[in-house]
Chains A and B, each alone.
Chain A
Amino acid sequence: MKALKHFLMSPAAMLGLVLLVVIIGLALFADVLYPRDPLGLAGRPLQWPNPAGRFLLGTDASGRDIAAQIAHGARTTLLMGIVSTLIAIVIGIVIGALAGFYGGLTDDVLMRLTEAFQTLPNFILLLVLVVVVGSNMTAVTIAIGVVSWPAVARLTRAEFLTLRNREFVQACRTLGLTNRWIIFREVLPNALAPIIVYGSVVMATAILLESALAFLDLSDPNIASWGNLIGQGRKVLRSEWYVSAIPGVAILLTILSVSLVGQGLNDALNPRLRNR
């Protein structure tokens, strides 16, 4: 409760939370606000943003409503960000927990694997995966999760290393509980807080990866996406720069909100670091 109060008292964390709620709201009500296909022809192409006119944020080079694409893009970004983060966290927790808990050969093998993954630049690895699995939304989401887990695994392993010889774990052993029970029911809940906080960093990176992929036209072309819109706008950058500018601001605000919330959680859960 004290942690919650501390979170609510921090202006930066609250700003992040409010921003995040607005973006989530936009994603949830995209269909209500803009019921038409966001990728369909809406009007004359390249109309400048006009708060008084039909198109609040203008239209792009193909005559599609930018505001509608932003709202539906929020859905894509959040959904892909959250799911790929979950995938990364699950893989990371399993590998990190096994390595940290068992140690020895298991640890060696799993950490070597983690190191090898970290040696490959994640975006280039992502490109290879996209070549293999294709560019539909599910495939890209899974691919982003698959390249993002190593840092989570390292963090989980470090937590497990400090916890595995604590008294409560030894007590569980003497009670004859199975390793699986000890790992998932006893140690993991104690190690979870920093991992969840780190989830905000993973999510911020995942959103950046997805938008960069969409910008390069390698993500799903049939779904409204902010990165894709930036890429489309590039062709008319010289005169109609707003087409690229607007979705970029949306990405910026989303990542900002995620990291502010993450930082707020971190400060609230780690009282020792509060005044840094």
Chain B
Amino acid sequence: MSSIPTLLILLAGLFILLQFAPGDTVDALMAQMGGGDPAQAAELRRFYGLEGSAAVRLLDYLWRLVRLDLGFSAIYNKPVATVILERLPATLMLMLSALSFAFFAGMLLGIVSAQRVNGWADTLISLLGLLFYATPSFWLGLMSIVVFSIWLAWLPPGGLYEIGSGATGIWLVLDIARHLIQPTITLALIFLAIYLRIMRASMLEVSTLDFVRTARAKGLTRGEIVRRHVLRNALLPMVTLIGLQAGTMLGGSVVIESVFSLPGIGRLAYESVVQRDLNTLLGIVFVSAVMVICVNFIVDLIYARLDPRISAGA
């Protein structure tokens, strides 16, 4: 929470920076309309609050931000907040599914890997992790479309749901899930590689500690030691990583949403760059920073639950 004032300062900095951007929304709009005279451009600028000195506009912008008013998008002809809210569900679903997949698959593979260090399974898993880490997600997405959507025709190549199918209720949920399989896996693999590496190292670290030796001396089986004693302690660094990676994952969703044409805020960010919709772009920066702060808040709560020695207040 302490990062909110700094965040506002940073947003102000970005706002000022964007004043130097060549071309504004009105230029993009005029280009879309096929040109127009300067008088019309001035009229449009006045309408969208783009005239006046930078300082006045900055103060105006910050004041609106405090009231959670993100401004008006000239391109979509709607308030920015509405545009972003419409696009938020797709991104949230993608993030949540990719994060859980990366976390749990990484955890499992890390545990398996740590059981027999330098055995064949460990080597194979480490090798896979290395490959996943080096693969650009957007390329993997395209290749996955070629294999699973074009050759095998198992999965849809893009979109959030089948348009015109009229599915509702459980069928709609299943349809969306089917559409999210490919984006989730391609976005998650790079994070899976990181989680797996951390989990393995963390398991090895914890299993050398005294209480594990005690547990072994007590006659507990290997599985019991892992489940009851090692796992909980080994999970701490994994949870830290969720907070650290939240922003990166949100950034990664920009390309993934573009590859799979998902209507999320990542793709909205890209579209607003192309269309010079600076209000929307700044709004996305603000919303994504708020999302990252929320994730970190939740991570702190989980942390306190996993390790009672850490209190959430501290």
The reply on B302 being an interface residue by CB < 8 A is no
The reply on B14 being an interface residue by CB < 8 A is yes
Q: Which of B2, B9, B136 contacts A252 (CB 8 A)?
A: B136
The reply on A69 being an interface residue by CB < 8 A is no
Q: Are B6 and A215 in contact (CB under 8 A)?
A: no
Number of A-B contacts (CB under 8 A): 144
Q: Are A259 and B133 in contact (CB under 8 A)?
A: yes
CA distance A227 to B142 in the complex (A): 12
The reply on A245 being an interface residue by CB < 8 A is yes
A33 / chain B contacts, CB cutoff of 8 Å = none
Interface stretch of the complex, out of B63-71, B72-80, B219-227, B269-277: B269-277
Q: Is the interface of A mostly helix, strand, loop or mixed?
A: helix
B6 / chain A contacts, CB cutoff of 8 Å = 112-113, 115-116
Q: Are B201 and A259 in contact (CB under 8 A)?
A: no
A216 / chain B contacts, CB cutoff of 8 Å = 254-255, 258, 270
CA distance A237 to B147 in the complex (A): 11
Contact status of A251 and B139, CB under 8 A, knowing A120-B247, A122-B251, A131-B21: yes
Shortest CB-to-CB span from B276 to chain A, Å, is 7
Q: Are A120 and B288 in contact (CB under 8 A)?
A: yes
Q: Are A131 and B292 in contact (CB under 8 A)?
A: no
Q: Are A121 and B248 in contact (CB under 8 A)?
A: yes
Interface hub of B131, B145, B251 (most chain A Cβ within 10 A): B251
Contact status of A241 and B281, CB under 8 A, knowing A123-B251, A123-B252, A124-B251: no
Shortest CB-to-CB span from B21 to chain A, Å, is 5
CA distance A252 to B137 in the complex (A): 10
Q: Which of B143, B278, B285, B293 contacts A248 (CB 8 A)?
A: B143
Q: Are B281 and A127 in contact (CB under 8 A)?
A: yes
CA distance A218 to B281 in the complex (A): 15
The reply on B10 being an interface residue by CB < 8 A is yes
A215 / chain B contacts, CB cutoff of 8 Å = 136, 138-139, 255
Q: Are A245 and B143 in contact (CB under 8 A)?
A: yes
B139 / chain A contacts, CB cutoff of 8 Å = 215, 230, 244, 247-248, 251-252
- Scan residues 230-252 of chain A and give those whose CB is less than 8 A from a CB of chain B: 230, 233-234, 237-238, 241, 244-245, 247-248, 251-252
The reply on A260 being an interface residue by CB < 8 A is yes
Shortest CB-to-CB span from A66 to chain B, Å, is 15
Contact status of A132 and B288, CB under 8 A, knowing A122-B251, A218-B273, A244-B142: no
Q: Are A125 and B258 in contact (CB under 8 A)?
A: no
Q: Are B270 and A127 in contact (CB under 8 A)?
A: yes
CA distance A40 to B139 in the complex (A): 24
B251 / chain A contacts, CB cutoff of 8 Å = 121-124, 126
- Scan residues 232-289 of chain B and give those whose CB is less than 8 A from a CB of chain A: 244, 247-252, 254-255, 258, 269-270, 273, 276, 278, 281-282, 284-285, 288-289
The reply on A182 being an interface residue by CB < 8 A is no
B56 / chain A contacts, CB cutoff of 8 Å = none
CA distance A215 to B270 in the complex (A): 12
- Scan residues 241-276 of chain A and give those whose CB is less than 8 A from a CB of chain B: 241, 244-245, 247-248, 251-253, 255-256, 259-260, 276
Which residues in A have some Cβ–Cβ distance to B below 8 Å?
112-113, 115-132, 134, 204, 208, 211-212, 215-216, 218, 227, 230, 233-234, 237-238, 241, 244-245, 247-248, 251-253, 255-256, 259-260, 276
A116-B6, A119-B3, A248-B142 known, 16 other contacts, Cβ within 8 Å: A112-B3, A116-B10, A121-B251, A121-B292, A123-B255, A124-B254, A124-B284, A127-B269, A216-B254, A227-B136, A237-B145, A241-B142, A245-B146, A253-B134, A256-B134, A276-B201
13 sample A-B contacts, Cβ–Cβ < 8 Å, listed by A number: A112-B3, A113-B6, A123-B251, A123-B254, A128-B18, A129-B17, A131-B276, A204-B133, A218-B273, A241-B146, A248-B143, A255-B135, A260-B130
